[in-house]
Each structure stands twice: as structure tokens, then as C-alpha cells.
Chain A
Amino acid sequence: MTHRQGFLVLESGETYSGLWRGKEGMDRAGEVVFNTSHSGYEEMATDPSYFGQILVLTAPQQGNYGENDEWWESSKIWIEGFVCVEMQQSERETSWQNKLNKHGVPILCDIDTRQLVLLLRDRGTQMGALVMADSPGAAAEKAKTLIAAKKKIERDWAYMVSRKKEETRPGKNPRGPKIAVLDFGCKENTLRELVARASEVRIFPSRATAAEIRAYNPDGIMLSNGPGDPLDVEVATETVKDLLGWRFIFGICMGHQILGRAMGGKTYKLKFGHRGSNHPIKDSLLNRIYMTSQNHGYAVDQDSLPKSVQVTHVNLNDHTVAGIYDPSKKALSVQFHPESHPGPHDAAGLFDFFVRQTQ
């Protein structure tokens, strides 16, 4: 591969020059976020929560173990770009690099990701663009246009990534509950975890109404993960409000934020979010401390929650709310990803807890 120059241009003006691994015309803009997970690049790239984002991995070497369609967490690659120090690029039949490129995703490597991460950490997440250009000046020009265009897209990102039609999957446990899933960008492994425990799982589009869900008469309701600002997600908060107390609800990530809002709480944007596989959570529901997979830019504001809501999960790194539980409303939600993929499986027991509550 010839060495082509590429750039990551941040909205604030910083420009990082590196090696462009992609074709011409693959220039893309997105929110620049970093993830500290050591492995799981393919799971992350196909996680709809990364919609509209340029993914920077702090682990320097990516693509080491190739690619595999079985690791996909949805039906497409969502990230706008992939940034790392070094990408495996020697001759192999299949490679992560080729797969990203095949799906039109640009890669920028050989940049000082550590310095970039420290900047994002200190100044907060921001928009940026990955462009192929001959000079920093040309890159900045291209980036400006791309970022401006990106800012104009539809704000309800959950809707953009969600299924538009209901989908029903048979469960593997005939005596298990029927689960309705509100799809805000649901990861495959959430569905796998549910299918393993349920008799049937039906996945509803993000803007499904309470009536539609009631009509299915599920035993429990799952609110999935998804991208973007919960404030911008239309319909869902009302739907959940309506369903509160009817059937047990379990929310993950975006689902957690929607539940928080439905219960009267507020959400806010974190400076640079939590993205990684090593975040310690204190779970006072299961009475354990475990490592979790995380990927979120927003959080539920603890002080805004009504009295009946217990904060059952706390992020021990920064003491933000990581999970809430209201037995009276039959609702539990967590900010992290018990479905993992990537990340530790330590919190998978929450699915069991959920299923127990539905019976």
C-alpha cells in the first residue's frame, strides 16, 4: 500500500496528520470519541450506538486477529471512521482493514492517539472529520464542509438506526417470558441474551407506541441501547411513561436514559463519556462489584430523580449514576452494557434478574 497522507481535523482546529487507509472520496465527519477496550473492534464498529462517530482506539494495534461476521452486533458498520496507531496490514486473505474499506469506512493510523485522547479528555468530545488531503490547509477546508453537513442531519439518531418494522424471534426457553424490545439501536447480543432466556422476543421500532406494545402483551419490556442524545429521541419517553408499572421494564444505556426521563429525571452530556471495557460498577441489587463494558456520552442526573427511584448502580470511577431501580414502577435500568460484546460478561446476571421479574 502506498503511503497516502490523511488527516483528522477537529472542529476546534487541531489537525492530526497520519496515514490514510482508504480510498479517495471516503472522507467522513463525525463525533470523535475514544474507547479504551483492548479488543472487540468489530463489535464496536457494528454497534449502532456508534452511529455518527469517529472511533479512536487507545489500544495501539488494531486488526491483529482479523475479522469475522459472527462478531457483528447489527447488520452494518456504523462508525464514520476508525483511528489507531497501527493497523494490521500484511497480506492475509481477509483483514479488518479491507473490511472497513469495503464498507466505505476510512482509517487513519500512525497518529499520536495518546495526545488526541488527552485533548478529548481535557476539552471534551467534539466533532471532527477524517479526510485525505495533500496538506493540512486543504484538509481543514474539506473538514469544515463535512462537519457542517454532518451537523444538519436528523437529530433522532435512535430512529435512524432502529428497525423500521417489527421483528419476531423465537426464544430458546419454552417456559420463558415473552419479551418486547424497543429498538433504539439494539445490539445483537442483547437479543441473544434475551432469546436464550425467553420463549419469544419481539423487537419494535424506536417510535412504537404503548398501544402497539400492549397489543403484543409481553411479560417484560426491554429498552435497548442506542446512539445520540436521549432528548432527541421522539415518542419513546411517552411510550415508556405509559408502560411504567404495567410490565417489568429493563433498560440498557439509551434505554436507561429514556427510562430515567420517563420517570421524571433529567439527562446531561458527559464531558467525554465512558467508552471501554474496564469500568467498575458497584451493583447494590446483586450486591457485587464488577467490570463492565461501557459506551455512552450522556448520563442520568441523580438529583433529578424522584424519591421512589433507587440508584442501585454506581460508576466507581466518577460516581455517576450507572443504574436505577424502582420496584413500585417495576423498572430497572443500567447505563452500562450487561450484554458486553465487547467486554466482560460479569453483569450478564442482570438478564436473569430481569427475566425473574417478568415471571
Chain B
Amino acid sequence: MPRKANLKKVVILGSGPIVIGQACEFDYSGTQACKALMKEGLEVILINSNPATIMTDPEIASRVYIEPLKVAYVEKILEKERPDAVIPTLGGQTALNLALDLDKAGILKRLNIELLGATPDVIRAAEDREKFRSILDTVGAKYPKSHMVRTFEQGLAVAEEIGFPLILRPNYTLGGGGGGVAYSMEEYKTKIAQGLHESPTSEVLVEESILGWQEFELEVMRDKAGTFVVICSIENFDPCGVHTGDSITVAPQQTLSDAAYQAMRDEAREIIEAVGVQTGGANIQFAVNPADGMRVVIEMNPRVSRSSALASKATGFPIAKIAALLAVGYELEELRNDITGTTPCCYEPALDYVVTKIPRFAFEKFPGTKDQLSTQMRSVGEVMGIGRTFKESFNKALVSLEKNEIGAPAVALDDSLLTFPNSKRVYHVFQAFRDGLSVADVVAKTQIHPWFLEQVEELVKTERDLATGELSDLRLREAKKRGFSDTAIAQARTIGGFKSTADEIRQLRWRNKILPAYLRVDTCAGEFKSETPYFYSTYHSIQEKIPFAKPMIALLGSGPNRIGQGVEFDYSCVRSVREFQRNGFKVAMINSNPETVSTDYDTSDALFFEPLVFENVLEILNFIQPKGFVAQLGGQTPINLAHRLVKAGQNLLGSTIESIDLAEDRGLFAKICTELNFKIPRSGMAANLEQALKISAQIDFPVICRPSYVLGGRRMEIVESEDELKAYFDRHGAAITVEAPCLMDQFLEQALEVDVDIVRGSDWSVIGGIIEHIEAAGVHSGDSMGVVPPQRLKEEACARIEDLSRRLADRLNVMGFLNLQLAVKDDEVYMLEANPRSSRSVPFIAKATGIPLVDLGVKGIIGLKRDQVKPEQYDWHKTKKVSVKGVVFPFKKFPDSDSILGPEMKSTGETMGRGDDYPEALLKAVIACDLQLPSEGEIFLSLREKDKNDLLPLIQELEGMGYRLSATQGTAGFLKSQGIDCEPIKKVHEGRPHCVDRIRSGQVAFVINTTSGRRSIEASFGIRRSCVDYSIPCITESDAAKAFVIALKKRLQGDFSVSSL
């Protein structure tokens, strides 16, 4: 049956800001759905609060609303748009929950809007533990036994019944607080008592442990006629106990017999039917006891999920697109398999390759949090490696992580890192075999399935073999078939005492014609012809030339998401493809991140799903012989590759290597700024404390200190005094040498920071806009909120900033993008940093101002002239709306980490609030970040000395708004002296009850805690942490506090509007 005739206008709900567990895979699914439904001729309305996404590009849907995904806002949009239906199954849990809320509030009924893809009943059946279990009972599926325990005595009885080990999950505690695993009655007694205490409802779910069981996932689809297909089976390398998002996973499953697999498939179908999923995608997770094959259901999601993105990329089956088309009434039989072009969509992909996904973590950003993996997801991104065998795909995926070019380099084997799952365990699994452990030994320690360990053991054998004798053609070929990078081979040879470099291995390879073949992902293991240019490399076939349409450019993507390099760069990449195409180019995309839109097979003219490392990129460039490669759009990853690629004879398009160096090299950059007469912060480099003290005398405290060669602000600290400088060297001195000195910069205290994105061609430039940071200097630009147009900057300062930006772009001879960070202090403008590429802020600026910034950047890269570009038509000053960037942090997922903001970036995602004025935009940005805005209650204050006077008017205002005030002794004393009534509360070290007790007791509605200096930061940690745990807003910077109060006031006014881009 074709699509429902009554459908004209459909709303798609996005998933909001990127958070751990819900990331850009939903940009992929939403974008795919929008494209598919637009093609159907439907009017598609998209709602999402995340400006970094591709789906919120105005070209993707009929109308895009960047508004908070909250009932009130969405209701207003629905009233305005009056759509026929809402599709809630493509925007993760956020969209599903929102749909439930809309339904519960009676809004859908009142406006006569249909929910497509999943009904409220289905959503509840899958989400409600009890309901879901009763459904499992009806189909005879098993699940881990569990009981809700309410008293200690009952807990003991439950433990007797289920047996050890047991998993404890206290109800309604945050961040898994109080939960854990108990292996013995003794341990259990302590934990259950603690859990009951920590749960606000005194409830602890006690669950049978399935630790060490094998974990599987089936990605399935169903249409309204009842046709059911499994798109992909996924098997976890890590056994149960590690969140599947944090596990290394492999597709298709490798260790189940056909009998076991088909039984699982049958059960999946029965569950889908029983839950009542009518159309669309769903996923079901299973655990299998390796001892006896017993299978239990872990959970089911009646929607497109994180694994759907992986499954789509792994198989070539566009799950989200098909889910959207099924939702509007099509059946699988009626839809064509795009990849083959001839067969229908009612089929199950057959793979003649293996896919491995490896998550990427960011524990190093959250000191205090133990690097251990458990049932709560912690990873911030992932990579996928495709190879003909697991070994090849595994090695490719390890290299794709961009941690090193070896894959699994040697580590000092640590038994505890092998036994307890953690982000580095995979390296220790390799090392275990290097150190002579057997498969049985490692199974005993890790419970990883022996098949996977056999594979690792074979890889280590190959490694050992490479360390001996002559490197024959045959042996080199064998190593390449097993996915060894040239660097890994060189490394193995070096360990064996041979002199070898990756370049030599590469030359040897080329001489012997050992080249990667590029095979197609064709959904059918070669059974049908496919022309779809979706490729992966392998050394299991002989390279055959493929004629590509010319002229072609190669576009380097941004690899796995990490803090500081995420979906924003995928936005730039994807948006640029269309502009390159409009200018007559074909685009070959290279990327390793399965969550992205850029790795969709129909985003570009050719997709190479490959590691973004020198070897793989160079081979692709040699293979496709493009006009050149583009390194400006994928963030720092491609910029870092550009040097070697150019040296290898490849043609870099846009800004030259020399331009890039001028911007990236601190010395050269400082020289240029001086030459242009720009003010820059005073700075120096110190190899030891003595030198550091000397330099600090020249540049004055406070100074920002950081070791050389660190990324994303690691170990970067603001040092306020000589004592602190000494302490800094005590802690980090070991990392500071003559070769890697400590970089010291004058810290522009209380300065206003701005981000500028500018694009330039040979005889023109366009400024995208100036984002004024809301927090003062000292907070990483990725972590600070921002506003366009600036609210506090004077017009002259703006003009000066624009002038400096243009002059710098000219001097650097930028062809394409340039991102600048500047600071304004005492009416002086300082140039802080230049990034010769598209930036994190580009999508935000483009959406805030309506200037097609990426398209213009592409025009600059390909060398269009002023008369072709007509830059004068783009003027960001004409922007009428105010847009505020909100920021989302993952502190809750990292217990014991400090939420104070500083020079090191910690946020995972952003929101955008658009309004007619600053307060409205601010309020929306804050709401979209899920921050609570308390309209009454107690505000706890703990302010450092220098903020007290500055924040006094604000505190008076809060008092006037009816909030109760409490504060630490010092702050309270100050406020009392100013005639403000305020209850003094003890600091943590002053005895109990202290301020943290107060926060944890639930009496405090929000907290302003400004502090600086290492000792005070440490002393006030408990305040911030308790706020994170209890979801209480905690503002750690004075300008942010002012902004927050503006939002609070706006909220109390109550009025708001919604508008599309």
C-alpha cells in the first residue's frame, strides 16, 4: 500500500543537544528521514534545539524550528503548524519521552495529530519494566530475575532466592549512586543497607547478575503488513557488565550457531509483535550464558537507536530512511534497495565482510573519575572498521580511534586492567598474549568469548612472526590482510631488531604491488550487481581500478566524536558536499565515524569508510586521483594530516600548508600579530620553575600555564601567585622539559572573549558573525555560552574586531575558513588564537545569521572571485533575532569529577535559543540544556572575594524576587554588612551540618559558587559535585550567574514565541 493519502505535513522530533548516550547518530537518523519525506513531497517540519546538527540546516526540511524540545514550545509550534502527524521514533529517547508528554497533556488529541511509528501504548510497553516483563512472559522469553527490595530483611530473602553475584540498582538515585555488584552475602549486606539509605524512595532493585554472559543485539524492522526483517545482528566483544555503547561490538554476530541465532531471531519477532510495534525500526538486546546457551532479554527500544546507525553503516541498509517511509504508510516490499537498485527492501542484508565498532572515551578529561566501565555509558564517540575478516576490521578500527597509528601498541600488562573492564582493556588483552598468556587464561580473567581471544592471539602471533627473518612479499601481504598498518609492521620489525620505518614498509609494499582493494558494501554479499560507491579497503582482494567521474575532490571528515571535535564538523563536511557539487565537483568522503551523516552512502559521490590516518588516506588519494583534498572541514584531524599528505605529493585545496602553519605555530603566529600591530597576551616559555618565576615577573599574575603538545587544554591551569606556580611545577614538572617547555600566557582576567568565523577568497572575505562569550575569559570557548549579536561589546570594539579579523585573514592568505578567538579588556582587543579551518562555531553562526557560511568557505577553497561570490550581500549585522548558545556537560556520568569550568573543554553538546531579545534567547538556550529554573526556594552562595562586590546588585535582585539566601560564613558576613538577610552555613571543613549536607538534603534550589586558586577549588568541590548529583543548577562564574538570573526573570514573565529559521 502506498503512503497514507491524508498526510500532507509531518513533524519530526530531533534529539536535542549531544549527550553521552544520545549523540549524533540521531542527527543521522533525523536527516535521513527528513530527506526521504521531503522527496515524497511531504511538508516536513523539524524541531530540534541542537544547532550543530545537519538536520537543523534550513535546506533539510520545509521548516526548521530550533526550539527547546519541551512540551510548551513544541505545543506552540504544533498549534502554529497544524501538522497531520508527528514522528517520534527518530530522535532517541528524548523524542519518545516528549511524544509521551504531548500525549499525556492531551495536546495531540486536541490538535488531532497522529503519532506515527510508535503509539504511546507501544512506548510504554517497552519502557515500563513491569509491562515489558509481562509481555516477555506471554511469549515465553526469559529475563534476568529481579525484585524491588524495600527493607533490609526482604533484601536478605531476595538474595537467598536469586543467588550471587547480585546487581543492586537503587531507585531514583542519580548517576547510578549507591548501586553496584555484590559477590557475597557480606558485601551484599553493606551495599543493600547503603542503597536503601541512598534511594529517596528507599527502594533497591536487586537483580540476578548476568555478568560475563555474551551480549547480542538484533536490529529489526517491521512494516504494517507484518513483514519482519533483521537488518543486522551485533555481538559484543565485551561480555555483559559493560554498557553496549561502551563495548567493542562486531557485526554480524560471529559465535552463534544457526540454531541459536534463529531462535533469537524468532524471539525478537515475537517480542516486536507482542509489544505492538506497527512500523519502523527497533532493537532488542539479549544475553546468552556461555555455559549452557540460556538466553535472556535485556531490553528493547521501539525506535531507531544508536545501534541502528551502526547497523545502517555496517550493512548499507538505511534504517532511518526506511523507518520514516514505513511510518507514512509504505510497506517494505514497495521500497527499493537503493544499493542494488533492483531488489526490494524486504530482505536481510548478507555481509561478506566483518565490521568492528570501538568506542572512544574521554576519562582523561574528568580527573577523579575512575576509568572503569559498567552499566552506565561513558564513551563520547565511536569508530567503525570494515575488513574482510574480524582481524582486519579490528585492526582498522583500532587505528581509526586516532590514538596511534599502530592499533594496539605495547603496554605494561596490568592484571587489574585486564580483569575489570575499562577504556584501555583492549590494549591489555593484546598484551596478555604478548606476555604469553593462553586463551584459557584470558577467558578466565575477562570472560571474553574464546573466539575473539583466538583472533587476538593470532594477531599477536603475526606480530611476533613479523619480528623475525626476512620480510618476504608473502609475509608482508599476510600482515596487511590481517589489518596491520605500515606503522604496526615497522614497529614489530623494530622490536625484532630490524631497522624499519612505516615509510620503508610503504615503499616495499608499493614496489611489490601490495595495494588495498576497494570493495563495495552491497547489502547482498555479491549476489546482485551494485553500483553504489560505498567502499572499504581490504588486502584480501587485488586492487581493481574504478573509473570515477571527474573532477573529484577528496573530503577528509573528522573521525570519532570526542570532546572538542564533534557533530559540528560533520555539519561542515556534509553541507560543503552540496556546494562542491553545485560548482561541478564530485566529492569523495573519507570518514571512520558510523554515527554521522557524512558516512551515509548518499551524502557524497563516493564514500570511503576508512581510518583517517595518513596511510589509509594516502592510499585512497592514490586510488581515486582527485584534483585535490580538502582538510579544512573536518576539524583538527585532517589539518594534522595535511602536512604529510602534501609532502607525499598530494594537492591540498584552499589555504596552503604555509598559511596553516602561520596560524597553528605559536611562534609564527605571535610574530605575525606583532607585525600587524595586534595586541596579544604577553607570554613566555619555561623549561623549569626558575625560568617560570622569571617569566611570571614579566607578564604578571594571573598566568595560564600549560605544557607543550597537549590537546584540548589538558593540564592547563590559571595560576594566580608564585606559590601556586610552585605548586603547578610540583604537580606537572615531570612533563616539562627544555624540549617541551611550559607555555605561559598572561591571563586577561575579566576580559570579554569572542569567537569570529571568517571565510575568505583571494579578493574577498565575509565575516559570519561575532559570538560574544557570556562567561569571562578563562572558560574554554567550547564550554562558554555565547550570544550573537554581542550584547555587551561596544560598536567600536566590534568594528575593531572585524577589522583585525579581516587583516589577519589577508595576512595569512586564507583560502576558505578561519576561526579566531579574541578578547576585549579595558577597550583593548587582543588576538588570542587562530584556527585555519571551519570551527565548532560555524553551524551556530550560520543558523543564527542565516549566512551560508560553509558554502562561502567552499567558494573560497575552490578559488571563486569577488564578482562570482558577491560577498557584499552577506551582512551578519542585519540579523534580527538574538541567538544564544547553551552548553551541555556530562559531569553526571563521571562521578567524582569537578564541574567547575576552566580552560579545558568538558562539554559534549550545545543548544541554541532564538528569541526576539537576549532574555528570551537565553531562557530557551538554558531550558534546552535541561537546566532547572527554580521560581522559588533557597539560593546558596559561596563567592570568592573579588566577585562579592560585582555580584552584589544581582544578589539584591534575587532577594527582591523572593528567594531565600544562604551562604558560607564569609559571603554571608559580607552580605549582612550590605544589609542583605542571609543564613550562614558551615563550609565542609568547618563541621556538620555543612553546605554539602544542606544541598544533599534538597533544601537548595540553586547555587552560585565562584572560586579560583587550586586550594579553594578543591575545598569547594563537594558543593559542585552535590549539585551535579542532585541536578541543582550550580553556576561557577559571575557573568554566567548574571545571565542565569536574566533567564530566571524571563521565565517568571512567562511569555515566549517560537519561529522557524
What is the interface of chain A, defined by CB distance below 8 A to chain B? 34, 36-40, 43, 58-61, 64-65, 68, 70-71, 85-86, 88, 90, 110, 112-115, 117-118, 121, 276-280, 282, 288-291, 316-317, 340-346
Contact = CB atoms under 8 A, between A and B. Distances in A.
Given A85-B389, A121-B527, A316 B255 contact: no
B540 A43 contact: no
A117 B525 contact: yes
Contact of A59 (B269, B351, B451, B541): B351
Contact of A68 (B229, B257, B439): B257
A332 to B, nearest CB: 21
Interface string B375-398: 000000000000011100000000
Contacts, number: 140
B526 A317 contact: no
Contact of A289 (B257, B332, B528): B332
A90 B457 contact: yes
B291 interface: no
Given A112-B540, A121-B527, A276-B527, A71 B258 contact: yes
B527 A43 contact: no
B227 A288 contact: yes
Interface stretch (B259-267, B272-280, B676-684): B259-267
A234 to B, nearest CB: 33
B953 interface: no
23 contacts: A36-B525, A38-B233, A38-B253, A58-B352, A58-B525, A59-B352, A65-B256, A70-B259, A85-B540, A88-B454, A110-B481, A112-B540, A114-B540, A115-B541, A117-B525, A117-B526, A121-B526, A276-B527, A289-B227, A289-B333, A290-B228, A344-B262, A345-B262
A36 B256 contact: no
Contact of A71 (B228, B259, B390, B519): B259
B344 interface: yes
Contacts of A59: 252, 350-352, 525
B347 A279 contact: yes
Contacts of B253: 38
A51 to B, nearest CB: 20
Nearest to B254: A64
B541 A112 contact: yes
Contact of B254 (A61, A118, A276): A61
Contacts of A280: 333, 344, 346-347
A40 B265 CA distance: 14
Contact of B346 (A58, A85, A114, A289): A289
B354 A39 contact: no
B343 A317 contact: yes
B828 interface: no
B349 interface: yes
Given A60-B389, A90-B458, A280-B346, A343 B352 contact: no
Contacts of B225: 288-289
Nearest to B343: A317
Contacts of A36: 350, 352, 524-527
Interface in B202-258: 225-229, 233, 252-258
A114 B526 contact: yes
Interface pairs A-B: 9 shortest CB-CB: A40-B258, A58-B525, A36-B350, A342-B258, A278-B348, A39-B258, A117-B526, A289-B227, A58-B352
Contacts of A342: 258, 262
A115 B527 CA distance: 11
B353 interface: yes
Contact of B255 (A64, A276, A279): A64
B954 to A, nearest CB: 63
A64 to B, nearest CB: 5
Nearest to B452: A64
A289 B343 CA distance: 14
B139 interface: no
Contacts of A317: 343-344, 347, 528
Given A60-B540, A90-B439, A280-B344, 4 more contacts: A37-B258, A118-B526, A121-B527, A277-B348
Contacts of B229: 291
A113 B226 contact: no
B1052 to A, nearest CB: 57
B542 interface: yes
A38 B252 contact: yes
B388 A60 contact: yes
Contacts of A290: 227-228
B257 A65 contact: yes
Given A36-B524, A61-B390, A290-B227, A114 B519 contact: yes
Interface in B882-935: none
Given A64-B451, A85-B388, A58 B227 contact: no
Contacts of A65: 255-257, 260, 451
Contacts of A60: 352-354, 388-389, 540
Most chain B CB within 10 A, of A68, A70, A277, A289, is at A289
B332 A39 contact: no
B788 to A, nearest CB: 51
Contacts of B390: 61
B454 to A, nearest CB: 4
Contacts of A289: 225, 227, 332-333, 346
A340 B262 contact: yes
Contacts of B458: 90
A58 B354 contact: no
Nearest to B331: A289
B347 A278 contact: yes
A317 B525 CA distance: 14
B262 A343 contact: yes
A316 B348 contact: no
A331 B540 CA distance: 48
Contacts of A121: 526-529
Contact of B333 (A113, A282, A341): A282
Given A61-B254, A117-B352, A121-B527, A288 B226 contact: yes
A34 B152 CA distance: 61
A43 B259 CA distance: 10
Nearest to A65: B257
A278 B349 contact: yes
A131 to B, nearest CB: 20
B475 to A, nearest CB: 11
B226 to A, nearest CB: 6
Nearest to A66: B257
A115 B253 CA distance: 24
Contacts of B252: 38, 59
B353 to A, nearest CB: 7
A64 B255 CA distance: 6
B338 to A, nearest CB: 15
A115 B517 CA distance: 11
Nearest to B227: A289
Nearest to B542: A112
A278 B351 CA distance: 11
A69 B152 CA distance: 50
A30 to B, nearest CB: 20
A43 B439 CA distance: 28
A97 B525 CA distance: 23
A61 B350 contact: no
Nearest to A275: B527
Contacts of A115: 541-542
A282 B255 CA distance: 31
Nearest to A117: B526
Most chain A CB within 10 A, of B252, B259, B343, B389, is at B259
Given A39-B256, A65-B255, A71-B257, A278 B227 contact: no
Contacts of B541: 112, 114-115
Contacts of B266: 345
B288 to A, nearest CB: 12
B389 A86 contact: yes
A72 to B, nearest CB: 12
Contacts of A282: 333
Nearest to B529: A121
B352 A114 contact: yes
A276 B523 CA distance: 13
